[in-house]
Amino acid sequence: MHLTSKLALSETAISIPPPAQPIMSSSLKLYVDANYLSPFAMFAYVALQEKKLPHELLTINLKAKQQHEQDYAALSLTRKVPTLVHDGFALSESSAITEYLDESFPGVALYPTEPQARARARQIQAWLRTDLVPVRQERSTEHVFLTANPQP
């Protein structure tokens, strides 16, 4: 019997509405690179963590070209990581993933709701992905996480 009905039948009759969405019954899988160095995969992973969404983390060995194998290519048109699979719905592109998670699940808001603030957040995200590529190249995740004593 559901918790809500049990409580409703009891004398105190405290009614606790079920969560807006049954998070635990959703199946979420995130495909990331096997070295855990893709900054794009990190965006999606951090979104799952921030929203406290239980998920399965699966790895794709990019060096071994696993992204081109039939099973993964069927999920990701671009054959890149990350890819999120939510109850059979497969979605690539890190910003699409973070926005989808934010719009689909309750919990902490990843983006502001006010349109101008939201646009500003997306603007910064877009800069990070495009215009700030030279900075990303100079401070790549390989450099930051794998170089001993990286220079600031």
Ligand X SMILES: N[C@@H](CCC(=O)N[C@@H](CS)C(=O)NCC(=O)O)C(=O)O
Kindly state the smallest distance separating residue 105's Cβ from ligand X, in Å: 19
Nearer to ligand X, 8 or 133 (CB): 133
Is position 94 an interface residue for ligand X (rule: CB under 6 A)?
A: yes
Of 31, 40, 72, 105, which one interacts with ligand X (CB under 6 A)? 40
Q: SS3 for the chain, per residue? A: CCHHHHHHHCCCCCCCCCCCCCHHHCCEEEEEECCCCCHHHHHHHHHHHHCCCCCEEEEECCCCCHHHCHHHHHHCCCCCCCEEEECCEEEECHHHHHHHHHHHCCCCCCCCCCHHHHHHHHHHHHHHHCCCHHHHHHCCHHHHHHCCCCCC
Is position 81 an interface residue for ligand X (rule: CB under 6 A)?
A: yes
Nearer to ligand X, 26 or 95 (CB): 95
Nearer to ligand X, 30 or 81 (CB): 81
Is position 80 an interface residue for ligand X (rule: CB under 6 A)?
A: yes
Kindly state the smallest distance separating residue 96's Cβ from ligand X, in Å: 8
Of 38, 48, 91, 99, which one interacts with ligand X (CB under 6 A)? 38
Nearer to ligand X, 51 or 99 (CB): 99
